[in-house]
Structure 1
Amino acid sequence: MYLAIKHLHILCAILSGCGFVLQGVWMMRRSHWLDHRVTRTLPHVIDTVFLGSAITLATLSGQYPFVAPWVTAKVVGLVVYILLGALALRWGRTMRIRVFSLVAAITTFSWIVSVALSKNPAGYFALTGVL
């Protein structure tokens, strides 16, 4: 059961990340697809399953935020990613702010993935010696 939920979680991570990048491209191109009903609904469905699988995995493994440092890092990173994503796709007043926020959000997402893969709160920064 744990392995199936983990695979679901990984699939949702891939779908969520790819979907966000696609929305970012559409935002930069000012595409009408960004306002399509499916584009506004599907990411929420994917992210809800993503979050649900994360909570289930944390419960099954006993690795919770503020107990396991790498899980805490992922949760903090998730909050930053959500705020940057909202700035990139909705709140940014200029295209420059939106594109900068998009790049920062994608960078944050990749760091969250690196934390998940390494189970190190520094993620890919541990490899560079920055943190």
Structure 2
Amino acid sequence: MYLAIKHLHILCAALSISGFVLQGVWMMRRSPLLDHRVTRTLPHVIDTVFLGSAIMLATMSGQYPFVAPWVTAKVVALVVYILLGATALRWGRTMRVRVLALLAAVLTFSWIVSVALSKNPAGFLAFAGVFG
């Protein structure tokens, strides 16, 4: 059961970042597709399953935020990713701010994946010699 939920979590991660990048491209091109009902609804469905699977994995493994440092790092970075994503797709006042927020959000998501793969709270920053 754990492995099936882990695969679901990984699938949701891939769908979530792919959809986010696609929305970012549409935002930069000022596409009306960005305001389509499916575009505004589907990411919430995917991200809800994504979060639910994360909670199930944490419960099944006993690795919780503020107990396992790498899980804490992922949760904190998730909040940063959400704020950057909202800035990129909705809140940013200029295209420059939106594009920079989009790039920062993708970098943050990549870092979260590196934390998940390494189980190191520094993620790829540890390998770059920045931390750890």
Same fold (TM over 0.5): yes
Aligned ranges for residues 1-131 of structure 1 at < 5 Å? 1-131=1-131
Amino acid at match of 1:55: I
State the distance in 2 between where 1:128 and 1:107 align.
14
Alpha-carbon shift at residue 93 of structure 1 (Å): 0.3
Where do 5+ consecutive residues of structure 2 fail to align? Answer: none
Deviations 1:19-69 (A, max 9, x none): 000000000000011000000000000000000000000000000000000
Q: Structure 1 segments of 4 or more deviating over 4 A?
A: none
State the distance in 1 between where 2:84 and 2:61 align.
29
Aligned to 1:130, what secondary structure does the other structure show? coil
State the distance in 1 between where 2:124 and 2:31 align.
33
Q: How many residues align?
A: 131
Deviations 1:92-121 (A, max 9, x none): 000000000000000000000000000000
Q: Report the aligned-residue RMSD.
A: 0.3
State the distance in 2 between where 1:21 and 1:118 align.
24
Structure 2 length-normalised TM: 0.99
Structure 1 length-normalised TM: 0.99
Where do 5+ consecutive residues of structure 1 fail to align? Answer: none
